[in-house]
Amino acid sequence: MNALRLKVASIAILLLTTVGGCASAGNYKAAPVEPEVLPEYALELELRGEPEYDEDRYEVNLGFELRAEDEFSYNAIVQEIVQEVIYERFDGRKIRETLVLVEAFKLSRVGRTEQGDVVYRLPSFQRDRHYERGYLSVGPMIKTIDVWRVVRFYPGFVEGADWTDLGFAHLPQNRTGSLMTDIPENFNESHQRNHDHRGVVLQDDRQSGKFYSMRYHWWREPTGNRPQATFTFAKYKRPPDEPTWLNTTIDHGTRTSSAGE
């Protein structure tokens, strides 16, 4: 009986050793290495379902896939969101709101392809959801609403963030401090209520970053008919009609913004 127990224990230890060896294949260890040290990789944006919109809201759900020729040292996808909204009244006056948000999603190692590439995605059940609503609640004096949202995304090494269980966090700023989070309390309200803006991007490959964008246009006829709206999601593209502030901010950074929803 004791010999049998010893044999079972030995098998269990062997299994644990084997699993541990797989987890450390290629001596992989997440670390804030210089981007020049990273293996060749491709970062792709995944659209999960078709974008939805109407006269009150829009919604887009995204995922990411990173494929590297060897184990990848960065542990997250960093996103820089810059948004500008312009409300125009029937009397010609305009109201402008802007926001900046730096956020991160943890990367989860999925495995290797037959070609040997190492694949990373967001953790199971995680998604990048862009959702805004409430445009039908604006006052009758509003004639048009224009929303521009531009997002730069790239891999990075994030430390000290207040992650959700699924691996999402708001960050105070990007690595260089050129973009600093400035959002109102009601933007992603549930997350802000339960999590702090903290954490540091110790290293990144921002210079290889890509973009995607959202463009929402809402208008109301003077006759009082129900408002109408159009929406465009552009993968790897920016809006051709970017306002000056947004264009300057996403390209060159800023330390201040006029936050709005």
HSE-CB for 139 with a 13 A CA cutoff: 6
The separation between the first and the last C-alpha atoms of the chain, rounded to the nearest angstrom, is 68
Q: How high is the mean pLDDT of the chain?
A: 88
Query: Could you read off the pLDDT of 97-156 as tens digits, one per residue?
Result: 999 999 999 999 999 999 999 999 999 999 999 999 999 999 999 999 999 999 999 999
Give the per-residue pLDDT at 255: 53
Find where tokens 């959002």 sit: 183
Rounded Cα gap, residues 261 and 259, in angstroms: 7
Q: Which of 238 and 254 is assigned the larger pLDDT?
A: 238
Under the banding of pLDDT at 50, 70 and 90, the label for residue 224 is: confident
Cβ-based neighbours of 246, under 8 Å, separated by 6 or more: 82, 83, 84, 98, 148, 150
Mean pLDDT of the 39-54 span: 97
Averaged over 213-229, what is the pLDDT?
92
The neighbouring-strand residues paired with 203 are 157
Within a 10 A sphere around the Cβ of 229, how many other Cβ atoms? Answer: 18
Tens digit of each residue's pLDDT (9 = 90 or more) over 158-209: 999 999 999 999 999 999 999 999 999 999 999 999 999 999 999 999 999 9
